[in-house]
């Protein structure tokens, strides 16, 4: 049997959509206590500090690469040249090389890196 | 033990829930034809609402209603496959002079087969007593569109139930 709009509306009005389950209220109220995720800006100081630390260590490394390493390499090269020079002057043997190394080490420890020079004759000034 | 500001906040949220949630849930159930999804939508809307300073939300009822509506239609757009609660009742008998269980089931089945936007208009008009103008203001559609959805919704249901 065909029903008209009014009859259908009347039938619908005898019904209603179901209500929320009781568990939903508890679920919502629990959300009030749940720790809120912190906004991004609260992490910004920590992030900035980490970034600054990374930047500083990177910069330090660069300065070391630019200045420190060449100086160390130059000093080591000079020491090797002096050892070669002394060793040659003292006979150019394994023993003379070891003696040259020992002498320069002793001199370096004693003089606390005061300038010195090695002559072609095998003497240290 | 809860501190006093937290107790106050909890009580405030409880009152807000009791005032808004039943109508919002019924509205969501009718748009979605899914009590499970409606529960998730209402929960999400309340969580978002509670993240705001309620004293600064102008017209909380309207805000919550629009939030539920948007979330419902987003949920429908994001659906994949069949839902698990397609057999869970959507309607209950409203008064003593109700209809029988078979008619209720048939009416509910006819409602489920409508598009969500037609179910929404039927719900707001019949169950909440809104005017076409009020529904149009909420949905952002013209009054004519809203009236057409209502007419087509009733027609489809009548055809299904005949």
B49 close to B63: Cβ distance less than 8 angstroms = yes
CATH 1.10.10.10 for domain B101-161: yes
- What was the pLDDT predicted at B11? 87
- Cβ neighbors of B45 (< 8 A, separation 6 or more) are B24, B64, B67, B68, B71
Paired tokens of A99: 């003696």
pLDDT tens digits, A103-120? 888 888 876 656 677 777
Is A37's pLDDT higher than 70? no
Tell me whether residues B30 and A20 touch, CB distance under 8 A.
no
Residue ranges of the domains in chain B? 4-77, 101-161
Tell me whether residues A12 and B39 touch, CB distance under 8 A.
no
- What was the pLDDT predicted at B107? 93
- Minimum CA–CA partner of B21 in chain A: A20
pLDDT tens digits, B46-94? 998 888 777 776 788 999 999 999 999 999 999 887 666 777 889 988 8
Set of chain A residues whose Cβ sits within 8 Å of the Cβ of B51: 36
What percentage of chain A reaches a pLDDT higher than 90? 30
Query: Element (H or E) spanning B45, and its range?
Result: helix B35-50
Question: Can you tell me the ipTM of this complex?
Answer: 0.87
Q: Which residue of A15, A32, A36 is in closest CB contact with B9?
A: A32
Q: Which residue has the higher pLDDT, A66 or B26?
A: B26
Q: Which residue of A17, A20, A31 is in closest CB contact with B47?
A: A31
- What was the pLDDT predicted at A7? 92
Is A92's pLDDT higher than 90? no
- Cβ neighbors of B60 (< 8 A, separation 6 or more) are B16, B20, B49, B54
- Among B54, B154, B156, most A C-beta atoms within 10 A, so best to mutate, is B154
* Predicted structure pTM score: 0.66
B107 close to A12: Cβ distance less than 8 angstroms = yes
Tell me whether residues A12 and B14 touch, CB distance under 8 A.
no
């Amino acid at each position: 049997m065909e029903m008209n709009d009014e009859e259908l509306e009347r039938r619908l009005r005898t019904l209603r959509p179901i209500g929320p389950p009781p568990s939903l209220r508890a679920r919502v109220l629990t959300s009030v206590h749940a720790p809120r995720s912190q906004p991004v800006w609260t992490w910004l100081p920590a992030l900035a500090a980490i970034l600054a630390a990374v930047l500083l260590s990177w910069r330090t490394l660069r300065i070391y690469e630019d200045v420190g390493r060449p100086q160390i390499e130059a000093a080591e090269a000079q020491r090797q040249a002096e050892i070669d020079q002394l060793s040659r002057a003292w006979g150019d043997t394994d023993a003379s090389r070891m003696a040259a190394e020992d002498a320069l080490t002793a001199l370096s420890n004693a003089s606390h890196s005061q300038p010195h020079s090695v002559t072609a004759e095998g003497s240290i000034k | 033990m809860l501190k006093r500001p937290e107790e106050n906040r909890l009580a405030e949220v409880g009152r807000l829930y009791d005032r808004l949630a039943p109508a919002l849930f019924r509205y969501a159930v009718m748009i979605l034809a899914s009590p499970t999804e409606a529960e998730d939508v209402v929960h999400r809307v309340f969580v978002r609402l509670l993240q705001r300073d309620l004293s600064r939300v102008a017209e909380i009822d309207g805000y919550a209603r629009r939030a539920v509506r948007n979330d419902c239609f987003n949920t429908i757009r994001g659906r994949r496959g069949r839902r698990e609660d397609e057999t869970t009742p959507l309607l209950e008998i409203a008064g003593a002079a109700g209809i029988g269980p078979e008619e209720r089931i048939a009416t509910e089945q006819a409602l489920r087969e409508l598009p969500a936007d037609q179910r929404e208009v039927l719900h707001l008009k019949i169950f909440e007593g809104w005017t076409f103008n009020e529904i149009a203001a909420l949905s952002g559609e013209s009054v004519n569109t809203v009236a057409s959805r209502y007419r087509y919704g009733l027609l489809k249901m009548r055809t299904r139930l005949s």
